[in-house]
Structure 1
Amino acid sequence: MAKVNPHVHQLHQPLPTKSPTKHTKTNDISFRDALQEATQLKVSKHASERLKERNISIDDKQWSDISAKMTEAKRKGVTDSLVITDQAALVVSTKNHTVVTALAKDEASSKVFTNINGTILMDS
């Protein structure tokens, strides 16, 4: 009879396997939905407050155009950028598709922007 090592546990039954998980329609996220969520433009709380207190209004089309340019800049290796519109200067992170802060354009003319590696000029 073979000697059994008491410090080694021998399995006499197969390990239980998990049954396949059934996915419901609400839990399934398509690649397209995940991509869209990842590229959805976010505005930080700080930037939102700056936009409001500086009375900067950006319409949906402009936000869409800014978002598209941020995606393009990210593909070119830009991680942090300055976006200049006809009325504002926005510091954005293309890494997480977020507007970090906002200044009225007239305020921006006398400022020095650091920690950016790209600039996006938006047409009026």
Structure 2
Amino acid sequence: MSIKIDHFHYQQIKPQNLSKTQNDFKQLLNNELVNSELKISKHAQERLIERHITLTNDEWSSIEAKMTEARKKGVQDSLVLVSEAALIINAKSNTVITAMDREEAKTQMFTNINGAIIMD
């Protein structure tokens, strides 16, 4: 027994559909760019102040770029080591969860992270 296929059903992409697809892509790209801005939780802000940790704008920009890359690779929570500090950052919300200086970080055990970024 053989089955005969009489016709195929396909949908042609029309210019108006293409325009909508392009707009959807632009919206997704814009959302990604907007969401790449790093936020600092209240807890992390308090820790940065308490521990006298200051990072330059260039360091924050580098961290943002690395977190965008990490998020694309599926990282959810990351330990980020910079010259002066160790930060725990939630990649999904792009938020610094906590911060400590490098000396304090030496005595800590970091759990529930699935990525590490070393930026010394």
**Equivalent position of 2:109 in the other structure:** 112
Shift of 1:115: 0.8
Q: Could you tell me how far 1:97 is from its partner in structure 2? A: 0.6
Match of 1:101 in 2: 98
Q: From the two aligned structures, give the one with the greater helix fraction.
A: 2
Per the alignment, residue 73 of structure 2 pairs with 76
| Identity across matched positions, percent | 50
Q: Which has the larger radius of gyration?
A: 1
Alignment of 1:10-49 (within 5 A): 31=27, 33-49=30-46
Letter aligned with residue 46 of structure 2: E
Superposition CA RMSD, Å: 1.2
What TM-score does the superposition give when structure 2 sets the normalisation length? Answer: 0.74
1:50 equivalent in structure 2: 47
Bigger shift: 78-87 or 30-39? 30-39
Shift of residue 39, structure 1, vs aligned partner: 1.3
1:67 deviates by 0.5
Tell me what 1:16 maps to. none
Structure 1 segments unaligned to the other structure (5+ residues): 1-29
| TM-score normalized with structure 1 length | 0.72
Q: Secondary structure at the match of 2:53?
A: coil
Mapped partners of 2:118, 2:91: distance in 1: 15
Gaps in structure 2 of 5+ consecutive residues:
1-25
The separation in 1 between residues aligned to 2:32 and 2:116, in whole angstroms, is: 24
Over residues 41-100 of structure 1, what are the superposed CA-to-partner deviations in whole Å (9 max), with x where a residue is unaligned?
Answer: 100010000000000000111000001001111111111000001110000000111100
